[in-house]
Amino acid sequence: MQRICLFPGTFDPVTLGHTDIIDRALHLFDQMVIGVGVNATKVPMFPLEQRIAWMQEIYKDQPKVKVMAYEGLTVKFCQSIGARFILRGVRSFTDFEYEKAIAEVNRMMDPQIETFFLNSSPQVGTLASTLVRDVIRNGGDASKLVPAAVWQGLKKA
């Protein structure tokens, strides 16, 4: 059976923190689906199509990676794509508590789906999309915060 993992998020925008987690986890799974989520409670800075395009560009040479949009329950999306694993990045104790609660509810809904937590690398451990959006909104240099494909796209905008 193929080990398919979902890495869900809004990726608004994609940061080096996101790619750190994906890159370090790739060898653990046969396929990594990056699920670009539509969150009804969030108003994104970047359109869904742009966030998907960035991820596709970043991982265009990585055959294990597939990028897909989804909305609704993450566990339902896992079921629809045959993913038995969810990967979540953890930057802090607060992140862990929040992610642990979500993982426990997901497990109650489908005990076959396991959640893996991967600590952020120290050099990107403080990166959050919220902070990156503030830098971008205020005309700051986000080149050290986002992958090159995202930075190039931001400079064109």
| Binding residue ranges for substrate | 10, 42, 74, 88
Task: State yes or no: is 64 an active-site residue.
Answer: no
Task: State yes or no: is 24 an active-site residue.
Answer: no
The number of C-alpha atoms within 13 Å of 106 and in the hemisphere containing its C-beta is 26
Q: Catalytic one among 84, 91, 107, 133?
A: 91
Residues annotated in a binding site: 10-11, 18, 42, 74, 88-91, 99, 124-130
Residues annotated in a binding site for ATP: 10-11, 18, 89-91, 99, 124-130
Q: Catalytic one among 3, 42, 76, 144?
A: 42
Task: State yes or no: is 100 an active-site residue.
Answer: no
| Cis amide leading into 111 (omega within 30) | no
Q: Give residues with Cβ within 8 angstroms of 151, minimum separation 6.
A: 142, 143
Q: Counting Cβ atoms within 10 Å, is residue 1 exposed (0-12), middle (13-18) or buried (19+)? A: exposed
CB 128 within 8 A of CB 17: yes
Task: State yes or no: is 91 an active-site residue.
Answer: yes
User: Rounded CA gap, 56 and 153, in Å?
Assistant: 13
Rg, C-alpha atoms of the chain: 15
Please list the active-site residues: 18, 42, 91, 129
